[in-house]
Amino acid sequence: MSQTTIKQLADRLASGKTSSVELCQDYLARIQAGNPKLNAFITVDAERTLAEARAADARRAANNAGPLTGVPIAHKDIFCAEGWLTTCGSKMLANFVSPYDAHVIGQFKAAGMPCLGKTNMDEFAMGSSTETSYYGPTRNPWDSARVPGGSSGGSAAAVAARITPAATGTDTGGSIRQPAALCGITGLKPTYGVVSRYGMIAFASSLDQGGPMATTAEDCALLLNVMAGFDARDSTSLEREKEDYTRDLARPLAGLRIGLPKEFFGAGLSGDTAIAVEAAIEQFKKLGAVIVEVSLPNSGLSVAAYYVIAPAEASSNLSRFDGVRYGYRTPDYGDLTEMYEKSRAEGFGAEVKRRIMIGTYVLSHGYYDAYYLQAQKLRRLIAQDFAAAYRQCDVILGPTAPTTAFKLGEKADDPVEMYLSDIYTIAVNLAGLPGMSLPCGLDGQGLPIGLQLIGDYFSEARMLNVAHQYQLATDWHQRTPGGF
């Protein structure tokens, strides 16, 4: 059962070959066996999960089921879920039980998909390795001495280890795509505004976007059908007609123009990753695609721009965590000011504090124009580079990450080196474009390599088509880590 895709599980439920209760019991048992090795889940509530599964089975019995009713899913612990502990991987929210559902959680509830639990993540989504979590690091199922990527590392590791068939993630600078690459699964970041951010605890509001993580592009399309949609409670949610993201999956790739940015294939890219991506390019040629060289001249400045804009927005968003209304409050204080200071000093981890300080600095008087405003100008130039590239091609292809999974602790003392893990993904968020990662090979140590596809605005269906056709021709997405 654990090797079955979302689509296959849905078909089994529809045919009556299995029940949602049986599926959830199987996955809960796998979580119990596998999570101690991985630390992929923060919270599991078997009683609540099985109650949701029984409700899904009742819907099927009453002929009131949707396409995915009864299929279980895990959620990144950044999404508020009513009655569930919602920690954002932080001591600051270690005692916070959400009183309401995020829009994304509500959509999955309405679809009848039981929640298997809340997955581990970098604290407040700030990190590229899931090592900054208050609950300890998540381990990569391909090699437990290595990171799964971040910040959606818990979701990625859980899907890769097949202890959940799918999971939600969020992507601010690559936090769905980079862990998907390092764990050998498929992950999709939609166009900014396609998925509501309501109830998704904010890191950087102009960059954050929720998306699906699963084993295949087809599964991601089915999950995006559930997640996407207008939400009046989110001012950045786009009011668009509902789409069927599976509609183009079977479309042939003959004549597809794939753009290769020369900036993605230079210094810093590991040899094994380059070889795997080149092999994927050859496969696309066999499928009828045409390769076009494009240029994204300002992409090299994306990391610098991101680490001004994202901390600035984080500094503002995290000001609400002050020990007054909810979350952690220091037990020992003399007055209100001391309570603020000690609650924040004790509640936030080192990486979060670092980004708050950077963000506060760049927004301060005398530095706003020199840093924040200049970063926003760079952001516009990066978006213009993509617009120019899409006049020459239909989709852009490149590596997701410069290397495969690195060892736990290897980059912990060098924040800049850690930040460069997202060098190929950040520009997509700055421009608000859709992007996805899918497995395309293994390196010399048997670790997964990710291939990134970047589409133009609202081209998720076409991008999923490209990924699906590649996965029909290859089996990298079917590879599983030993022991799982």
Mean pLDDT, all residues of the chain:
97
Query: pLDDT class for 412, splitting at 50, 70, 90?
Result: confident
Query: Do the beta carbons of residue 277 and residue 399 sit within 8 Å?
Result: yes
Bridge-based pairing state of the strands 290-294 and 73-76: unpaired
Sign of CA dihedral 478, 159, 5, 398: negative
Q: Is the pLDDT of residue 2 over 80?
A: no
Q: Is the pLDDT of residue 462 over 70?
A: yes
Query: pLDDT class for 366, splitting at 50, 70, 90?
Result: confident
The pTM of the full predicted model, rounded to 2 decimals, is 0.97
What residues contact 174, with CB distance under 8 A and at least 6 apart?
Answer: 128, 400, 401, 421, 422, 424, 425, 426, 428, 429
Query: Do the beta carbons of residue 231 and residue 198 sit within 8 Å?
Result: yes
Determine, yes or no, domain membership for 281. no
Look at residues 129, 112, 113 and name the one whose alpha carbon lies nearest to residue 121: 129
Determine, yes or no, domain membership for 130. yes
What residues contact 83, with CB distance under 8 A and at least 6 apart?
Answer: 48, 97, 98
Q: Give CA–CA dist 236/425, Å, rounded.
A: 21
Determine, yes or no, domain membership for 160. yes
pLDDT tens per residue across span 101-113 = 999 999 999 999 9
Sign of CA dihedral 154, 155, 158, 163: positive
Residues designated as active site: 76, 151, 175
Count up the domains in the chain and report the number: 1
Domain span at residue 23 reads 6-253+436-478
Look at residues 450, 467, 18, 458 and name the one whose alpha carbon lies nearest to residue 219: 467
Determine, yes or no, domain membership for 328. no
CATH of the domain at 460: 3.90.1300.10
Determine, yes or no, domain membership for 54. yes
Q: Is the pLDDT of residue 380 over 70?
A: yes
Bridge-based pairing state of the strands 210-214 and 186-189: antiparallel
Q: Is the pLDDT of residue 430 over 90?
A: yes
* Over residues 345-369, mean pLDDT: 95
Q: Is the pLDDT of residue 395 over 70?
A: yes
Determine, yes or no, domain membership for 393. no
Q: What is the pLDDT of residue 417?
A: 86
Q: Give CA–CA dist 218/422, Å, rounded.
A: 25
- The more confident residue out of 353 and 325 is 353
pLDDT tens per residue across span 5-51 = 999 999 999 999 999 999 999 999 999 999 999 999 999 999 999 99
Q: Is the pLDDT of residue 252 over 80?
A: yes
Q: What is the pLDDT of residue 1?
A: 58
Exposed, middle or buried: residue 62 (CB in 10 Å: 0-12, 13-18, 19+)? exposed
Burial pattern 14-47, b for ≥16 Cβ within 10 A else e, equals: eeeeebbbbbbbebbebbeebbeebbbbbbbbee
Query: pLDDT class for 413, splitting at 50, 70, 90?
Result: confident
pLDDT tens per residue across span 104-150 = 999 999 999 999 999 999 999 999 999 999 999 999 999 999 999 99
Query: Do the beta carbons of residue 259 and residue 392 sit within 8 Å?
Result: yes
Q: Give CA–CA dist 118/50, Å, rounded.
A: 15
Determine, yes or no, domain membership for 457. yes
Q: Give CA–CA dist 208/412, Å, rounded.
A: 23
Determine, yes or no, domain membership for 386. no
